[in-house]
Structure 1
Amino acid sequence: MTSPLDLAALLCSRLCHDMLSPVGALNNGLELLAEEKDPTMRQRCLDLLEQSARISAHKLKFFRLAYGAAGGFGEQVPVEEPRELLAALTSNDERLTLDWAVGEASLSKPAVKVLLNLAAMGLDSLVRGGTLSVGAERNDGNTEIAIRASGPRVAFDANIGKALEGSLAPEELSGRTAPAHMIRLIVDRDGGAVQYHHGEGALVLGAVLPDPEGLIG
């Protein structure tokens, strides 16, 4: 059994890993700017700094909602929040396309957390670019989430699948598999379910979560 402290440490490791590149680019850009005298090159440095700062802000907002307590929101989160976060992440790579198909006005915090983490797994799988399709709807007292990543090459770590299934040994957990383990804990706690299918050219991830008591009916 992985303790809450261990899971928090692994999620922090994943966050730090993903933030290292844009924050490192900020540091390098500042060093270059301090030494550069040519106006054209200085402007180029400023453009790169702006891009790195924007990417860093987008990633931090994503992690706040995907991993954190999402302070500032009630029990329901407007769907524009996760949509804007995923749109920002996909816009950083011209090879990626986001297909958003969520008709609900808001989703519960657990549903948003599961949706964002499954979507991040889909993005990670598109190593040569492709389309990330995101759907969610309420049906018979449940929120159903469907993520499909399709492209010329779709890679998926088998250990992430095991973590989603709940069959990964605690000693095998890492920063890479911790988000999948967190999803497994959420669906087990709330009486939901999660599944995935990795086939040729596509990765499909899905989850069902019971709606909070106040939304059922």
Structure 2
Amino acid sequence: MTNPTDSIEFASLLCSRLCHDLLSPVGALNNGLELMADETDPEMRQRCLDLLADSAKTSANKLKFFRLAFGSAGGFGDTVPTHEARVAIEGMFAASGRVKVGWMIEEDMLDKLPVKVLLNLALIAGDALVRGGQLDIGAERRPGVTEIVVRAEGPKLVLDPDLRAALAGTLPPEGLASRTSAAWMVRTLVTSTGGEIALSPAGEPMLLFGASIPDAQ
């Protein structure tokens, strides 16, 4: 990316990322419809219907997650019910069945910005669990600040070095691409409030993200 502060150029990268993530389930919907059009065997038609149902559910789960993680979360006020975030995260990883989500948040509501950061960190950590594993998510409101912790542990953890650099603030502008746009956004959102992002060192058996976000003034 030539200018990471160009909102239009950055938006195009983020849109590319979202379209890439939606391509698979939407493509499966199209394939299922094509099979249905030519299939006459009742058993095979039922399999096609099952495929369509699974693909539709996956698409809906992704869209619900993206709405909270990347959108303005319209329909909510200044705060978002944490139950909505939990449902979005669990739905995002439900299709594979390989990632078990541990929810460690007692708060009923969180401000929109911490929810956005929490969702994006959970997505990055969950994607790093290439063979599945445990994804634990915690958040707590303290006087003047919201603290977030996301921990991923599994048989194989792979975090793209560019994603790590984007979160750490060391990614050069020319390294910003669609795959790193969400991590760069998280870093920018947190630091713009005077907050901090923390990451566990590379090579550790467990991936740990932390974020400290001051309350809006």
TM tier, smaller: over 0.9
Deviation at 1:174, TM superposition (A): 0.9
Task: Determine the C-alpha separation between the residues in 1 that align with 2:142 and 2:182.
Answer: 26
Please state how far the C-alpha of 1:59 moved relative to its aligned partner.
0.3
Aligned-residue CA RMSD (Å): 1.0
2:104 is aligned with 1:101: yes
- What amino acid is aligned across from residue 17 of structure 1 in structure 2? H
Q: For residues 1-217 of structure 1, what are the structure 2 equivalents within 5 Å?
A: 1-2=3-4, 3-197=6-200, 198-213=202-217
Deviation string, structure 1 residues 19-53 (Cα, Å, up to 9, x no partner) = 00000000000000000000000000000100000
Q: Give the C-alpha shift of residue 170 in structure 1.
A: 1.3
Q: Give the share of equivalent positions with the same residue, in percent.
A: 53
Distance, in Å, in 1 between the alignment partners of 2:132 and 2:183 is 22
Letter paired with 1:121: I
The separation in 2 between residues aligned to 1:191 and 1:72, in whole angstroms, is 27
1:118-141 superposed Cα distances (whole Å, 9 cap, x missing partner): 000011100000010000001231
Question: Counterpart of 1:202 in structure 2: which amino acid?
Answer: M
**1:168 Cα shift?**
0.9
In the alignment, the residues of structure 1 paired with residue 143 and residue 7 of structure 2 have an alpha-carbon distance, to the nearest angstrom, of: 32
User: Normalised by the size of structure 1, how large is the TM-score?
Assistant: 0.95
Cα deviation for residue 188 of structure 1 reads: 1.8
The alignment of Structure 1 onto Structure 2 pairs a total of residues equal to 213
Report the AA paired with residue 22 of structure 1: P
Q: Which runs of 5+ in 2 are unaligned?
A: none
Cα distance, 1:90 vs. partner? 2.1
Q: Runs (4+) of structure 1 moved beyond 2 Å? A: 198-201
1:76 CA drift (Å): 0.2
Aligned mates of 1:150, 1:141 — CA distance in 2 = 30
In structure 2, distance between residues paired with 1:177 and 1:32: 36
Deviation at 1:201, TM superposition (A): 2.6
User: In 2, Cα distance between the equivalents of 1:180 and 1:139?
Assistant: 25
**Local SS of the residue matching 2:31:** helix
**Residue 162 of structure 1: how far off its partner (Å):** 1.1
SS of the residue corresponding to residue 176 of structure 1 reads helix
Structure 1 gap ranges (5+): none
Partners of 1:51 and 1:133 in 2: CA distance: 26
TM-score by length of 2: 0.95
Cα deviation code 1:134-171 (max 9, x no counterpart)? 00001231100000010000000111111112221111
Amino acid in the other structure paired with 1:117: N
